[in-house]
Amino acid sequence: MCGIVGYIGKKEAWPVLIKGLERLEYRGYDSAGIALLREGAFSVYKKKGRVSELSKLVKNKNENELSGGVGIAHTRWATHGVPSDVNAHPHLSNGGDIVIVHNGIIENYLSIKKILISKGYKFKSDTDTEVLANLIEDVKNNAKVNIEEAVRLALTEVVGAYAIIVLSKDEPDTMVVAKVGSPAVIGVGKNEFFVASDATPIVEHTKKVIYLEDGEIATIKRNPKNKKLILKIKTIDNKVKNLYVHTLKTKINELEKGGFPHFMLKEIFDQPESLRNTIRGRIVLEKGNVKFGGLEKFKDELKRLNRLTIVGMGTARFTGLIGEYAFEELARIPTKVEYGSEFTYRDIAEPSHTGLIAISQSGETADTLNSIKKAKKEKMLTFGIVNVIGSSIAREVDAGIYNHVGPETAVASTKASSSQVLLQIMLAIYLGRMRGLSKAKGQEILKEIEKLPALVEIILKNAKQIEKIAKKYKNSDNFFFLGRKYNAGTAMEGALKLKECSYIHAEGCNSTELKHGPISLIEKSFPSLVIAPKDSLYEKNKSSIEEIKARGGPVIALTTFGNKELENIADDVIYIPETLEILTPILAFVPMQLLAYYISVERGNDVDKPRNLAKSVTVE
């Protein structure tokens, strides 16, 4: 939630910051703002709405008003206070000495605010962030310290999650960055530094980055003698830390739409290549096995695992419901799927010899990250399936597997989710081969996995047919998505995609539950999409279709090419190529993503930035 950007260096800050906000707008778009520090004074511009509204606000400003080589910026997803110009960041302190941008939640802000009010501080906004700005100013003035020390001391009083960038007009050549629980990345250029919530605003300027760890404060300061900028990092409890520079692999063209009208459609069509990248170098066909470099040193612990717990939120959790079947079928390991948020706060019945698999596209999901920390305290072996290299989850887990699908910009996950399913199936094969899964069975599945990219290409060639179906159902108010076994989780993910993008109320459930309550909702205006490939439960799913039709409900059937039977029962039929039952969710994802996309477009929605949602949920 929320995106922060900072720049200090030789360039004009404004163009760097505004472009950075555009790159980060998927993290929040309730309001946006920029503060520039020039000649010992702040210029603050902020506006409710999208980043484009901020650009309009300054359209008639002259170059001098927007000049300066130091600045911070913010795009907001509201937590405290409604979206408004006043609540937009950056926030100034009462005395005007401090300006701050903040991603996160200060949990004890009200108690701090009461103390500050008693000292005479006044507040213009409803945000917790303005409280932090005034707390830093209060510490700086009373303790007679510089801005770096004022931030450090203030943060010792703070409870919550944050990534902040702070400037002081009294120290115009200094920028302070700090984080706990929310991500912060520092890009290292040639006598210039870039700060952001993730690497997307940085990659076009430098490939060298430093990921701040929880409890760290970075100070960027210009040496008055040689004018060189120096970066130092220490902890909130004042311990000096060494700098570790990572090299980004993201390419700038991966952040562009590539001729597609929306990022979501581009990312749906990216899936043949993203699946190839997920597979590449990991299949050992002659052994009927899979290799994951990050797991090799944990082989002994992996062999001793008796149980698995999968944690995730939203799409990631739904892919875990599919993975659960794979781990139990192929590896014979009892597996449980949990909300990351709930796992953190519950007792673990038997943590010994239990592995935790944390799934997150961004690698920054706060609930999932907290569940990893809980698991590590219980001495559980932790794994991550994440897409973003160097993310918080990737650094926190004992061992990780990267998706390698490239940046995913649209809020609704597409290529990352299909990769998450595939990696869980591949991991199930890897664990299964340690536990009696035959080489022949491993080879059978892996041969079919290698065909997946080409099979997805076949589905994408029929996108126009799905667009026609979308036009037919665009005015629906409700939708069911139904499936069995592996495709129960698939149905839940299909429902999530539709509700995220189109704002149609959609419910995904196991189709066997239909008779246990949900069928009472069926009527002529309540369509259902039933995932019914020619698999072990095809006849059961066909019966569900007939039950819905008997009650007047429209049905879209998603089935296997060549199965013409459902054309005589369902109102519309979407076809996917034949594959193994265990792999059908990956193929079923694609037409459901297209259906959600096209219905959303038909309804005039902003597909890439659905209302009230943000791509990365970094607050609990």
Can you give 430-472 as a three-state secondary structure string?
HHHHCCCCCHHHHHHHHHHHHHHHHHHHHHHHCHHHHHHHHHH
Beta strands 354-360; 335-339: pairing state: unpaired
Long-range contacts of 116-119 (CB under 8 A, 24+ apart): none
For residue 538, what are the CA distances in angstroms to 1, 296, 491, 507, 556? Answer: 41, 39, 15, 21, 15
φ, ψ (nearest 5 deg) of residue 119: -90, 0
74 strand-pairing partners: 4, 33
Helix (H) or strand (E) holding 545: helix 538-550
Quick check: helix, strand or coil at residue 345? coil
Gap between the Cα atoms of 345 and 370, Å rounded: 9
Detail the DSSP E strand segments found in 242-395. Answer: 246-247, 283-284, 289-290, 307-312, 335-339, 354-360, 381-386
**Of these residues, 48, 113, 169, 615, which one is catalytic?**
615
290: DSSP letter: E
Q: What are phi and psi of 154, to 5 degrees?
A: -65, -40
Is 615 an annotated catalytic residue? Answer: yes
Does residue 2 carry a catalytic annotation?
Answer: yes
Handedness of CA 284, 287, 288, 292 (dihedral sign): negative
Report the candidate in 426, 429, 422, 421 with the shortest Cα–Cα distance to residue 320. Answer: 421
Token pair belonging to 43: 């210029």
Residue 589: name the closest of 498, 473, 477 by CA.
498
Whether a cis peptide bond, with omega within 30° of 0, leads into 90 is: yes
CA 432/CA 438 separation, integer angstroms? 8
Give every CB contact of residue 528 below 8 A, 6+ residues apart in sequence: 479, 480, 481, 482, 522, 548, 553, 554, 555, 556
2, 113, 501, 609: the active-site residue: 2
- What is the SS3 assignment for 15? helix
- Give the contacts of 216 (CB within 8 A, at least 6 positions apart): 178, 179, 233, 234, 235, 236, 241
CA distances from 464 to 174, 264, 552, 591 (A): 54, 16, 27, 11
CA distance 554 to 349: 45
The C-alpha atoms of residue 598 and residue 46 are separated, in whole angstroms, by: 33
Q: With the CA atoms of 465, 471, 477 and 478 taken in that order, what torsion angle do they form, in degrees rounded to the nearest 10?
A: -10
Question: Hey, which bits of 107-239 come out as E strands?
Answer: 160-168, 174-180, 185-188, 193-196, 208-211, 216-222, 229-235
Catalytic residue numbers read 2, 615
